[in-house]
Amino acid sequence: MQTAETAAVTELPTASKRNEMILSVATKIFARRGYRNTDVQEIADELGIGKGTIYRAFGTKEELFLATVDNGMKKLSERVQKVKEEQCDSSDHMRLSILTFLRFFDENPDLIELLMQERSEFKHRDTHSYARHWEINLPIWTDRCREAMGDGRLRDLPIEGLLEVYSGLCYGAIFIQHFSKKHVDIEARAELMADIIQNGVLSEAERTRINAQKTR
């Protein structure tokens, strides 16, 4: 028969589950108070564990902070990866990718705060989390662009420059949305961004006029 004591033991979180809980609480506290103003003891108190447990799992306060940022970007990568596996045409795929990206940061605003702190507090870090996330996904997006250009679905443009502009548009959007603190219709914003990327902002008549001037 299972006693109350043995039941309590079996309900203790595994090391991986405990570490996930630590990262979750640390993310909120670092985002709210800032890296320099956060004491690891605050995180431990919030979790009801000893500070030594956190240090044994993550080493130092700096390593804990960087782990929170990397964990957030890992979750973003997992979310985006699911979109990449969707079977749909290129226009829908772009809209879904942008929507997933914007929605993730709308649901996880603390990660935006951590990305800013990482850039200001750890300038010595060789590759910051967002850049590393981009580099991991870059080969996949490059292949997609090359394939779309080969099929005639995309204009023949420098792929690296195209993807940097695309990334900058999405990256800038999350910070503008975060700083403005305004309610944004995420689906409508993703639809508009995808439309602008795919069709531009000039009317058909204006594009015709400009092209006619170029041929004179």
Give the pLDDT means over successive 10-residue stretches in the chain (216 positions).
Answer: 40 78 97 96 96 95 95 90 71 85 94 93 81 82 87 90 90 90 90 90 89 81
Domain ranges of the chain: 69-200
Q: Kindly tell me the number of DSSP H helices and DSSP E strands found in the chain.
A: 11, 0
The pLDDT value given to residue 126: 74
The pLDDT value given to residue 4: 43
The pLDDT value given to residue 183: 87
Buried b (16+ CB within 10 A) or exposed e, 161-199: ebbeebbeebeebbeebbeeeeeeebeebbeebbeebee
The pLDDT value given to residue 87: 62
For the chain, give percent helix, strand, coil, nearest 5.
75, 0, 25
Contact by Cβ (8 Å): 23, 68: yes
Please choose, from the candidates 121, 102, 127, the residue with its C-alpha nearest in 3D space to the C-alpha of residue 31.
121
Amino acid 189 reads R
Superfamily in which the 69-200 domain is placed by CATH: Tetracycline Repressor, domain 2 (1.10.357.10)
Kindly report, residue by residue over 90-122, the tens digit of the pLDDT: 667 788 989 999 999 999 999 999 999 998 898
The pLDDT value given to residue 1: 43
Contact by Cβ (8 Å): 118, 129: yes
The pLDDT value given to residue 13: 64
Please choose, from the candidates 166, 126, 168, 111, the residue with its C-alpha nearest in 3D space to the C-alpha of residue 142.
166
The pLDDT value given to residue 32: 96
